[in-house]
Amino acid sequence: MLKPKSSIEALTDPAPRTYNSQMTLLRRGEFDHGALALQTPKDVEDWLLADALAETDLLALYQEFIWRLRAAGLPIARCSLHAGTLHPQLYGYTLIWTVDDGFCDEANVSISARTSDVFRRSPLYSVIMTGVRFRTLLEGRGAEQSSPLMKELAEIGITEYAALPLRTGGAYHNAATMATRQAGGFSEPQFEAIERLLRPLTLHIERHIAQRISENICTTYLGDDAGQRVLSGAITRGGGEAIEAVIWASDLRGFTQLADRLSDEQLTAVLNAYFDCLCGAVTDHGGDVLKFIGDGLLAVFPFADFATEEAAAEAAISAAEAALAALDRLNASDDGPAPGARWRPLRTGIALHRGHVFFGNVGAPQRLDFTVIGKAVNAASRVESLCKTVGRDLLITEPVAELSKRPLEDVGAFDLRGLEASIRVFATPGR
């Protein structure tokens, strides 16, 4: 017997569907349900307790689960899964399936959705917040049809809609919705089978969401590359590897004076806006932000992540130019992060240097930091300090400049504290 297969691809265009502005489509899945044998609810339960344990992708797991419910005679026409997460920008994830097109979409839900009026008026809000299930028939002209969602579902022939909490003992509830076009809605035996099968599915959802939360936390606090390395088991003190990269070191000018005249809340807002300009540019150009040191930033553009060494150098220089341009726009904006406060203009110094560094765990046995260390990091830091001396926003050391085809200005060779040899630095025109 052929094993049914899932196909999943990343998408940005939701057609033929539409989603509101608080949802961002990530991926779309399809499932080869034609190769799926007829099921019983017991078969679905056995699958959940055995083969489904090997599935590492929640989208693939969920869409196969729904098609297995259909193969077991449960007349589901539309369903969704809503799972919360721990992320600075996201409220959670949503999986949405309909029998009409056969697609199962995965979307991010913005953190702003949590306080939106549309969400608060939806049945899902009370299900997620209180854990009380919602179930309504849509045939005829029931009172529930007064809500936009119920009207929309009734117009496409949905006869019953249910939103069910997925409880695992936490402070919040994930939720699942189920809808049918069957006359009279779900029969009681059908609905009982759905509720019973959602219980083991809930445990699968929790393990997948726990993994996502771990990834969110690690990549948010350590950066994408370092976070993935830690999740993969790189947690031994001293463990890591030597890499070659373009190192980015930057520092905010006049931070002491800024901190003296701003309140803590204003200073935090200004720093966040400043780091938005820099970090966005680094990540958009393929770099990895490693850490913030007060108002300083350390990032790397590993050669292994680019097609060539020249591509890594070009990405780093382009990122620095983009960061400086973003900072210029912030300074020129009509509003700002701290209304009424004297924070303008924000200036920074960025140094780009090439070298071998150790990328790994450093620290005490009970408290580690995943970072880069080495002579090249020290050199980048010293060159960054030189920015203020020579009146430049961006300095590029000779080893990086040699990889660039750009017309760069030779600023000169300098003896820097802590470095045995002098180092020649270059600048982009106008910076």
Task: Encode pLDDT of 366-410 as tens digits.
Answer: 877 777 888 999 999 999 999 999 999 999 999 999 999 999 999
Ranges of CATH 3.30.70.1230 domains, the chain? 223-427
Query: How many residues does the structure list for the chain?
Result: 431
Q: Are 288 and 223 in contact (CB under 8 A)?
A: yes
With a cut of 80, say whether residue 171 has pLDDT above it. Answer: no
88 falls in which pLDDT band (50, 70, 90)? low
The predicted pLDDT at position 146 comes to: 59
User: What span, in angstroms and rounded, lies between the C-alpha atoms of 385 and 379?
Assistant: 10
Ranges of CATH 3.30.450.40 domains, the chain? 6-221
Q: Give 57-72 as a DSSP string.
A: -HHHHHHHHHHHHHHT
Q: What is the mean pLDDT of residues 135-155?
A: 76
With a cut of 60, say whether residue 74 has pLDDT above it. Answer: yes
Q: What is the mean pLDDT of residues 127-146?
A: 76
Q: What is the mean pLDDT of residues 102-114?
A: 87
With a cut of 80, say whether residue 142 has pLDDT above it. Answer: no
The predicted pLDDT at position 271 comes to: 95
Using the CB atoms, write b or e for 239-265: b if 16+ within 10 Å.
ebeebebbbbbbbbeebeebbeebeee
Asked which of 77-86, 100-109, 229-238 is least confident by mean pLDDT, the reply is 229-238
User: What span, in angstroms and rounded, lies between the C-alpha atoms of 314 and 381?
Assistant: 20
With a cut of 80, say whether residue 90 has pLDDT above it. Answer: no
The predicted pLDDT at position 169 comes to: 63
With a cut of 90, say whether residue 330 has pLDDT above it. Answer: yes
Asked which of 88-92, 175-179, 199-203 is least confident by mean pLDDT, the reply is 88-92
The predicted pLDDT at position 306 comes to: 97
The predicted pLDDT at position 87 comes to: 54
Determine how β-strand 348-364 pairs with β-strand 394-397.
parallel
Percent of the chain with pLDDT over 90: 60
Asked which of 145-159, 316-330, 377-391 is least confident by mean pLDDT, the reply is 145-159
Report which of 102, 98, 3, 105 is spatially closest to residue 47, judged by C-alpha positions: 3
Asked which of 105-119, 268-282, 314-328 is least confident by mean pLDDT, the reply is 105-119
57 falls in which pLDDT band (50, 70, 90)? very high
Q: What is the mean pLDDT of residues 68-97?
A: 86
- Amino acid in position 375: K
* Cα-based distances in Å from 142 to 85, 147, 151, 154, 179: 34, 11, 10, 10, 16
pTM over 0.75: no
Q: Which two tokens stand for residue 145?
A: 């049809």
- Amino acid in position 122: S
The predicted pLDDT at position 224 comes to: 78
With a cut of 80, say whether residue 222 has pLDDT above it. Answer: no
**Cα 422–424–430 angle (5° rounding)?**
145
- H or E element at residue 156: none
Q: Are 276 and 355 in contact (CB under 8 A)?
A: no
Q: To which residue do tokens 């780009």 refer?
A: 352
Percent of the chain with pLDDT over 70: 94
User: What span, in angstroms and rounded, lies between the C-alpha atoms of 217 and 227?
Assistant: 8
Q: Are 426 and 398 in contact (CB under 8 A)?
A: yes
109 falls in which pLDDT band (50, 70, 90)? confident
Q: In what order do the strands lie in the sheet with 6-10?
A: 6-10, 23-31, 104-110, 90-98, 78-84, 174-180, 160-166, 134-137
143 falls in which pLDDT band (50, 70, 90)? very low
Q: Pick the residue with more confidence: 105 or 226?
A: 105
With a cut of 50, say whether residue 29 has pLDDT above it. Answer: yes
pLDDT, tens digit, 9 for 90 and up, residues 241-266:
889 999 999 999 999 999 999 999 99
With a cut of 80, say whether residue 275 has pLDDT above it. Answer: yes
1 falls in which pLDDT band (50, 70, 90)? very low
Beta strand extents in 119-159 (DSSP E only)? 134-137
2 falls in which pLDDT band (50, 70, 90)? very low
Q: What is the mean pLDDT of residues 96-102?
A: 95
- Amino acid in position 184: G
Using the CB atoms, write b or e for 92-115: b if 16+ within 10 Å.
bbbbbbbbeeebbbbbbbbeebbe
Q: Are 213 and 256 in contact (CB under 8 A)?
A: no
334 falls in which pLDDT band (50, 70, 90)? confident
Q: Report the chain's mean pLDDT, rounded to a whole number.
A: 88
Domain at 6-221, CATH from 2.60.40.1180, 3.30.450.40, 3.60.20.10, 3.20.20.140: 3.30.450.40
Q: Pick the residue with more confidence: 148 or 429?
A: 429
311 falls in which pLDDT band (50, 70, 90)? very high
Beta strand extents in 38-117 (DSSP E only)? 78-84, 90-98, 104-110
Q: What is the mean pLDDT of residues 5-24?
A: 86
With a cut of 90, say whether residue 188 has pLDDT above it. Answer: yes
Residue 73's contacts (CB-CB under 8 Å, 6 or more residues apart) are: 39, 190
81 has which bridge partners?
95, 176
* Cα-based distances in Å from 394 to 54, 170, 357: 50, 49, 22
The predicted pLDDT at position 410 comes to: 96
CA 274 from centre of chain: 20
Instruction: Note the CATH number of domain 223-427.
Output: 3.30.70.1230
Q: Are 305 and 246 in contact (CB under 8 A)?
A: no
Q: How many CB atoms lie within 10 A of CB 46?
A: 14
